[in-house]
Structure formats: structure tokens, C-alpha cells
Structure 1
Amino acid sequence: MLLQLRLLSRQTGPWKRYLSTPARVRFAPSPTGQLHLGGLRTALFNYLLAKKTGGQFILRIEDTDQTRYVEGAVENLVKALNWAGIPHDEGPEKEGPHSPYYQSQRTELYRDHAKKLVESGHAYQCFCTPERLARVRESRQKQGNYIAYDKHCSYLSDEEIKENVDQNLPFTVRLRTPYEGTTEHKDLVYGSINFSNKTIDDTILIKSDGYPTYHLANVVDDHLMEVTHVLRGEEWLSSTPKHILLYKALGWKPPLFAHLPLLLNPDGSKLSKRSGDVHVEQYIAKGYLPEAIDNFVALLGWNPNTSDSVFTVEELIEQFDIKDINHSGAVVDHQKLDWINKHHILKRAETPEGLNSLVDILKPFVNKSYHQLEGTQQAYRLSNEYLAQVIDTIKERIRNISDIPSLCSYYFENPDYASADALALKKKLKKPALDLISNDEFKEKLSTIEPFEATTIKPWLYALSETNGLNPNHVMMALRYKVTGSRVGAGVAETIQVLGRETVMERLN
């Protein structure tokens, strides 16, 4: 019944505004480090909604907590979003009508609004020391009351407040939360939710250092920047009633809210660094394609109304609808990411331009592993033309471009016949097939094939196998061993073509 009520509530009310309004949305990260996978999903969903409705996507930097600021974080953030194909319409480097887009540059604005809230009685100055707050919190927790503050300073008289101010006592500004009643929130993902006001703390709006908290700054900025929809992580759902009360206190209409499900590890725990890669920069460093990462994170909690799983960003914009977002946690499955990445590799490789872009991704990985080839007769193996051929032959067998240097080392150096992989392959060889490719007549005929291409080499090998009464697969396996020393690879004839006549003959000898 609860699920039915939620689904029913998502067809009326705020949904009418959602379906008919060009969305002005924002992604508002803190510059505290690298872009988290969950942050990328939040940015992507906001971007998709803006483009689907003909709206704007704003990037705003929430840097009021200067103690957590990381040098270069904003530049890296913008770089990661641009890599992912999620450019902002307004924000750092793209100043718009609502600049500045750094909250640290808007502090006077927040203080002015906090002052108005105090004057209207919707907020108050709190002079409690950290020691008193700790004692109150501990005492209330022992009593089973998890509202951390006891509203002590909300009862101060005007004379007491003036005396404290005259003594220059440090203070915070707190929102005066009503104790009775409920605060209703109609979420575009979770439906209608009621919060008892007894469970909502008197939120700090201005800290004792004069800087705003997230709660005040983001409400003021969202209103002044004319944000219509707020898509953010589920962890902010419990803060939403505080924000709604703050909007009411300021006399403003709240935007529409949609809270996105948590990202989970395969064991059901919240995604964390302990589970492996959680930052976008880590996926960039591993050679994943941006469209594959976008495709992957879009499917974390969102189900398109189609059986397809592979989408370009343009297709995601066309398919995206908030009502298709789930409110259950989404498991980050790296095997699925690899599968999606493989399909995007194949899609790119369909055109010369796409294949060249894959070469650009592959080249740094090859240069890192085989830099010793520079300045030698083998330097051609680092060329764009050669690498394009390598990708074209192996694209069906890989899930990531960065796999090529390690999985296909035979394209760049002589095989290691003493490796475990080579020895395992050797055990499977049939002696008649190995004898055939080892005799001089076979080598002489192979060396004279014209053109030295897969389309001529492959039928010749099959015909030769039939003439000698051998299974062609056995001959191909023996050739693979001699030429690559590896069980993993593209078709044997295609591999021979890429390696070239001289290299193949050297290895056969």
C-alpha cells in the first residue's frame, strides 16, 4: 500500500510542474578532492534534465568550509565534467547573470538574509559554548532524544542578547523550528513524505566564524539563481524539511526536489574507497571511455523504458525521465561497466574518426609500457597507423583499450615462450599441425603470399590444412603459439597481417 501511495503521488502535484517547466538545475560540489562516482551521476542527471526540458545546467562551488578546501580541486572538477561531456551553461569560467558562482564570494549576501530571519523571529542567535553543546548532546542522547540542541538560546530576552553581543561573545545563528506539527515534502522520486517537526533540530545557518552552513547558502543561492529542480543524493533527504522550513521563513517557493538512491558495493554496503575505484579520475586513468562511464552511472538507479542498455549521451537525454528513477540503492557492478565500455569501443571503431580517437587513448598506455622502442627499428609499433590496426583486430576481444599492452604484448615485443600462458598453450598443440608450420616449405610459401593480408592468408591456411588432412583449428592454434605465444588474441590471419611479413617469419624461424 505504501508503494501504491507513493506511485500515485508522483502522477499529480509537482509532476505537472516537472513536465511543463524548462529546468534550471545546479550541481554544487565542495572543492575537497576528486569527483566521486556518485557526484558524477548527480551532475549527469541534472544535465540530462536540463537538456531534456530546454533548460540550463549551473555549476556552483560550495566552498564556505575553507578548512576542507583542496588546491586545484575546482579546476580538476571542471576538467572531469568536460571529459564526461557534461559542460555547464553557467559557473566558473562561464560567468552568467548570477555570478559569482563561488559561495565564499557571497558570504555578505548570506549574512544579510540571516539577519532578516533573526529580525523576523524565524531565527535566533545562539551563544552556547562548544562545551555546553557537547554536554547537552550527550545528556539528550542518554535520554533517547537525538535532537542535539535544547533551544536554550531561543528563550533569551532582548536584554540578555544585547548583553552577550556587547561582550563580543561568539554566536551562531539558528533556524527557529516549530515544535508542533509536521513538515510535508513531495519528492519526485520518493513521493509524499511527512516529517514530524519534533524530529527536526534548530539548524545552524551562520557559524561562529561568520560563514554560512550548507543549509542557508544552498537555499539562498537556489532561490536567487532561479533553480527550479534540485536533484541530489539520498543522503540529503533528511535535510529537506529544514530547507523547506527555511524557504517558508524567507517567504520563497521551494524548488522541486528529487533524491537519488545511494550507490552500493556488491555486498550492499555504501560505496566507499575500500571497495576500489570511486573517483572519476581513476576511471579516466584506466582508459575507460567517457560515454561508457556516463552510460554506466546513468543506469545506477534509473531504468529507461527500453530493453537497451547501451546509450550515447544524446540518447540518454532523449530517454531520461525522473519518474523512472528508483528509490532503492544501486549496486556498482564493474563487470557491467566493462561490458558497456566494450560496446562503446565497438561503436567508436565503426568510423575512421572514432578509431583514431581510440588510438589517442591507447597511445599513452603503449608508450608507458614500450617506451624502449623509440629510436629503434621497432618504433613503427608506436605509430598511429600501427596502433589503429592493432585496435581493429582485437576490438572484439577486449573490454578496455588499456588492456591491449598487457593482453597483446606480442604486438610490441617478441613472445615469451617460457611464460605460463605460452606453456599452457603449447600443451594443447597437435604434433602434426606443429610439424606442418615448422617445415621450410610452409615458411617459404607463407613468406611469398601476396598481398600479405588476412583475406589471402586465411583461405590459404584452410586449403593447406585440408590438403594435409589436418584440422584447420589445430593449424591455427600452432601458428598462434609460434607467432604470439599467447592464448588471447584476435584471429590468427588478422594478427599475422598486423605483425607483418618480416616479424612473422622471424618468429616462425
Structure 2
Amino acid sequence: MTDKSHSGPVRVRYAPSPTGDPHVGNLRTALLNWVFARHAGGQFIVRIEDTDRERMVDGSLDRILSALEWLGLDWDEGPGVDGPHAPYVQSDRKALGKYAKAAQMLIDNGQAYECTCTPERLDQVRLRQRAEKKPTGYDSYCRNKSDEERTADKAQGLATVVRFKVPLEGEVVFNDVLRGPLTFDPSLLQDFVILKSDGYPTYHLAHIVDDHDMGITHVLRSEEWISSTPRHVMVYEGFGWEPPAFVHLSILLGPDRAKLSKRHGDTALLEFRDKGFLPETMFNFLSLLGWSAGDDEEVMTREQIVEKFSLDGLNAAPSIFNITKLEWMNGVYLRQLPVHALAEILIPELEAPDGLPASISRPLDRDYVTELVPLVHERLKVIDREELAGMLAYFFQDEIELDPAAVVQKGMNEAATASALESAAVALESAEAFESEPLEEGFRALCVELGLKPRQFFGALRVALTARRVAPPLFDTMVALGRERSIARVRRAAALLLRDQAVS
């Protein structure tokens, strides 16, 4: 399956259109291009295809470049990086007349022609075709006009586009690196527009001219472009240029095996960043959508992925974007982080306005946050501010909001729970070594002495200390809170229980 038709250094490109937020499928394509270039010791070029002016979205280009930078996909040529084939923005290349000259070249060699059909005429053609139950499309009206007719059209000032002249017979054959030779019947295609009346090229012309000028050797792009590739092959042949190797990547599906879309959840890449996924996770996860190293290894570093990559490892079968697997992988990466490194990630999230409650003063004690990290390290799947605040806020608060009823465990009542908590407070006061293991040993002995099950006693203590039924290991929590705060919280819980009992 490996393509060997292009000698010399590998040159690939990622050519996004700034028409919206970059989504995971688009960035998967960029990533695999980048990995291929780095594996082969080639170049990765970023080119901005902004010829669809009506669909341009403000800020989209900045978000595209931010997504590349977040994933660590540096480019050798492109925006902000000078190269021998500048400019790397198609509107700038259009201003230099590159596409108009290319279209004229095709006209001159008989592969394209000027078309002055008005929108009204094209609408009439489509209506007639529908009435006759024929496929709709351009009817080649201007294809065989004489020079005199074309001169007359120009004299009328009619808007002019340039259409490629599709061969009327034969076959279009191209090789897809993943799928092998593919054959298409050109008679099923109509003469298509390559240069619009405003002077802007369509994709079918612009990317071919740019790929040729920039020496692109391989085009890795989504499977959805297969149906357009016959047009591109014909244009290459029209110019007399050798096309690059085509590698159409597998389509991305949701867990329900429908095409990945917003109904499956987030698809914009930067939303995953904002929801606490690590760039290392996303790089690893996206690399495995349609590619395999040929072993059972799934969690790999960037360097390992680059080293193991080959076109042979690509698979044409649809790839499933499984958010559950992504969360699992992110948890693996989080757990692999050194404590101090994770602390540095958590601190700005906790200090953010929507992180810890506003009542908690900033800046946080970095050493204390580092001490708390091991308590939540194993539970993290993403860096989610709301979740982090729920896990850690009570470590920074002097007093917690406590529901006394939640302290009472199954098989206990308010009086028995209050009495057990007071015994716990006394044990905390008298503990010689305020460390996790001796505390656990002492409290297990106290549990037997009080005639309580560990689930009852420790459950009451957990809620008294944290106001939560689920929290980090109990005795690690005590150590992190410190002796004084632990005693104060346990006694306050006991007092609230006794108060409620007196009221009732």
C-alpha cells in the first residue's frame, strides 16, 4: 500500500478554510499530515484557503492556528513562517494573478472555456431537466461557442466564469494509496467552474495550482473528497502536471456509527481544550483514528507515534470517535503527570473566577495545592473547574456548609452519631503522630471500641470533614486538613446534630 511514486522529500500541507471553528475531523487530518512529514523528514505546510468569501467567519483563522499550536503541530512554511512559496493565503495569491493566469493557460490549450450563462438561464435549465426527470447540471451551452459569439458576449458586459472542459469519453483513473486504483466515468460529470466571475478561483482550481507550485508530494485528506478527485485528476492532466499521491483518510463516525456531528457532543477541537483535555491526550487519541502502529500499544508519546508511523498503518474503514475512550486516555495522561506538574496545571484553573468559590482568597498556596494533588490524582479524567472545585474547595474553607442529616449513617441516630464524633475529636487531639497510617490504625481500634462498623463511623467522619459522601481517602483528608481544622469540623458536626435533636 505504501506509495513509492514520488521521489525526494515528502511535502504535505494542511489547507483549512477560515469558515468556522476547527473540528476534530479537520485537525485529525492536519495531525496525520504533520506526523507523516516528521516521520519522513519532510516538510509540513499550512496554507489558508480563503477563496469562499461569503462563508468567511471573523476570528476563525486565529482559532485554527491556536488549535494547531495547542496540539504542537508546528509548520515549516505558512502564516508567520517565511518560505520559498509565499504567500500562503489564497486571497494574497489571487491578488498576484496566479489563478487567473492558470485559468487562461487551460483556455489556451483547449481544456477550459469562458461561460457567460446568467443565473436566470441556469435556473431555467435546471427546471427543464427536473421536468424531464434528468440529472440536473450544466448543459455545456457555452462550450462550443465560436470566437465571434464570445466576442459578442464580452461586448455586452456579461459576467464571465471559466469552466473546465470535461472529456466526453474515456475513463478517469487514479490511485488511492489506501484503496488502490479507482475508476470514474467522466460523462457523469458536467463542465465545472474553476474561476468565478469575481476573479476568485474555486477549490477545484486553487488547491491544484498551489499544490503544484509548492511541490506537494502527498495529499492526505478526508474520504469525502474521493468523489471530487476525478475532477482534480482531469485538471492536473489539463495542465500536463503530475498529481500528488492521494491518501483519503477514513471517515469519522460517532458511537452510533452515524457520521460524526454536533449531536454526538463537542466536535470543535478547542472545546476539548476548554473542558480540560490535555494536548498530549488529543494528539495520541486523534492519531489512532484511522491509523494503527500494528501492535496493541494505544498510549504513546508524540515521539513514539512519529517513529512508528507509516502509510501502511492507515485503514480505510470508518473510525469511531468514542468520547468515553478519550476520557479514559486523558485520565491515563493525567495520572502519568508528576505531582508538581499537575499542580501547576490545576492552580490557574482553581484560581479562575469560575473555579473555587470567590470567598476563598487568591493566590493559593502553591505548596499546599501540591500537597493536595495526590488526593485527587487518581480520580481525574479531565481538568474541569466545577469538578475540581467540588473535589478541593473544602480544603481551603474555614467552615463548610453541612447538612447534619447527611452525617448520620444507616443504622445510627443523631445522638449516637454525635457521641461517636466527640470520641473521634478526642482521638484526634491525643494522636501522637498526625499521619495517615497511624490515624487509620487508631480509628479502626476506636471503631471496635464504639461497636460501630467502619462504614458507619468512617462515613460519618467523611461527611463531617468534607460535607460530601464521596471524598479522597479519609485519613489522607485529615492530614491535609490538619489537626485543628479536623477537630473543629468534627465537633461542629456533633454540635449541629445535638442542636437538631434538642429542637425535635
TM-score, normalised to structure 1's length?
0.88
Query: Which residue is 1:386 aligned to?
Result: 368
Bigger Cα displacement from structure 2, 160-169 vs 36-45: 160-169
Question: Is the 8 Å Cα contact of residues 9 and 41 (structure 2) preserved in structure 1?
Answer: yes
Q: CA deviation at 1:26?
A: 0.7
Question: Is the 8 Å Cα contact of residues 422 and 490 (structure 2) preserved in structure 1?
Answer: no
Question: Is the 8 Å Cα contact of residues 287 and 361 (structure 1) preserved in structure 2?
Answer: no
Secondary structure of 1:396's counterpart equals helix
Give the letter for the 1:117 counterpart: L
1:100 aligns with 2:82: no
Among 126, 129, 149, the residue aligned to 2:115: 126
Q: CA deviation at 1:321?
A: 2.4
Counterparts of 2:130 and 2:320 in 1: how far apart (Å)?
A: 33
Q: CA deviation at 1:226?
A: 0.9
Deviations 1:320-345 (CA, angstroms, capped at 9, x unpaired): 22222222322322111111110010
Query: Which residue is 1:260 aligned to?
Result: 249
Alignment CA distance shift 1:361-1:305 (3 Å)? farther
Secondary structure of 2:381's counterpart equals coil
Q: CA deviation at 1:467?
A: 5.7
Alignment CA distance shift 1:22-1:337 (3 Å)? same
Question: Is the 8 Å Cα contact of residues 433 and 474 (structure 1) preserved in structure 2?
Answer: no
Alignment CA distance shift 1:22-1:135 (3 Å)? same
Question: Is the 8 Å Cα contact of residues 20 and 57 (structure 2) preserved in structure 1?
Answer: yes
Query: Which residue is 1:418 aligned to?
Result: 403
Secondary structure of 2:469's counterpart equals coil
Bigger Cα displacement from structure 2, 156-165 vs 410-419: 410-419
Alignment CA distance shift 1:472-1:225 (3 Å)? same
Question: Is the 8 Å Cα contact of residues 123 and 173 (structure 1) preserved in structure 2?
Answer: yes
Deviations 1:6-48 (CA, angstroms, capped at 9, x unpaired): xxxx26xxx2247x75421111111122111111111111111
1:184 aligns with 2:173: yes
How many residues are matched? 485
Unmatched segments (≥5 aa) in structure 2:
492-504
Query: Which residue is 1:244 aligned to?
Result: 233
Unmatched segments (≥5 aa) in structure 1:
1-9
Question: Is the 8 Å Cα contact of residues 342 and 400 (structure 1) preserved in structure 2?
Answer: yes
Alignment CA distance shift 1:256-1:364 (3 Å)? farther
Bigger Cα displacement from structure 2, 386-395 vs 157-166: 386-395
Secondary structure of 1:371's counterpart equals coil
Question: Is the 8 Å Cα contact of residues 100 and 106 (structure 1) preserved in structure 2?
Answer: yes
Among 17, 26, 29, the residue aligned to 1:39: 26
Alignment CA distance shift 1:426-1:163 (3 Å)? farther
Query: Which residue is 1:90 aligned to?
Result: 77
Deviations 1:202-226 (CA, angstroms, capped at 9, x unpaired): 2211001110011111001111111
Among 319, 328, 332, the residue aligned to 1:330: 319
1:109 aligns with 2:98: yes
Secondary structure of 1:232's counterpart equals strand
Give the letter for the 2:4 counterpart: K
Counterparts of 2:228 and 2:294 in 1: how far apart (Å)?
A: 31
Q: CA deviation at 1:50?
A: 0.7
Query: Which residue is 1:480 aligned to?
Result: 462
1:16 aligns with 2:4: yes
Secondary structure of 1:395's counterpart equals helix
Question: Is the 8 Å Cα contact of residues 408 and 489 (structure 1) preserved in structure 2?
Answer: no
Deviations 1:134-171 (CA, angstroms, capped at 9, x unpaired): 22234335555436111111111111112212322111
Q: CA deviation at 1:262?
A: 2.0
Secondary structure of 1:192's counterpart equals strand
Query: Which residue is 2:497 aligned to?
Result: none
Deviations 1:102-153 (CA, angstroms, capped at 9, x unpaired): 0000111011010010010011111111122222234335555436111111
Secondary structure of 2:425's counterpart equals helix
TM-score, normalised to structure 2's length?
0.89
Query: Which residue is 1:6 aligned to?
Result: none
Q: CA deviation at 1:175?
A: 0.9
CA RMSD of aligned residues (A): 2.5
Among 378, 381, 390, the residue aligned to 1:406: 390
Question: Is the 8 Å Cα contact of residues 408 and 417 (structure 2) preserved in structure 1?
Answer: no
Alignment CA distance shift 1:448-1:207 (3 Å)? farther
Residue pairs, 1:410-449, within 5 angstroms: 410-413=394-397, 414-418=399-403, 423=406, 426-428=408-410, 434=417, 437-440=420-423, 442-449=424-431
Deviations 1:286-317 (CA, angstroms, capped at 9, x unpaired): 11111112222222222331222222222221
Query: Which residue is 2:498 aligned to?
Result: none
Counterparts of 1:490 and 1:202 in 2: how far apart (Å)?
A: 67
Secondary structure of 1:160's counterpart equals helix
Question: Is the 8 Å Cα contact of residues 221 and 247 (structure 2) preserved in structure 1?
Answer: yes
Among 143, 146, 152, the residue aligned to 2:135: 146
Alignment CA distance shift 1:168-1:52 (3 Å)? same
Larger radius of gyration: 2
Identity of aligned residues (%): 38
Q: CA deviation at 1:426?
A: 4.3
1:63 aligns with 2:27: no
Q: CA deviation at 1:406?
A: 3.1
Counterparts of 1:476 and 1:22 in 2: how far apart (Å)?
A: 65
Query: Which residue is 2:17 aligned to?
Result: 30
Bigger Cα displacement from structure 2, 98-107 vs 188-197: 188-197
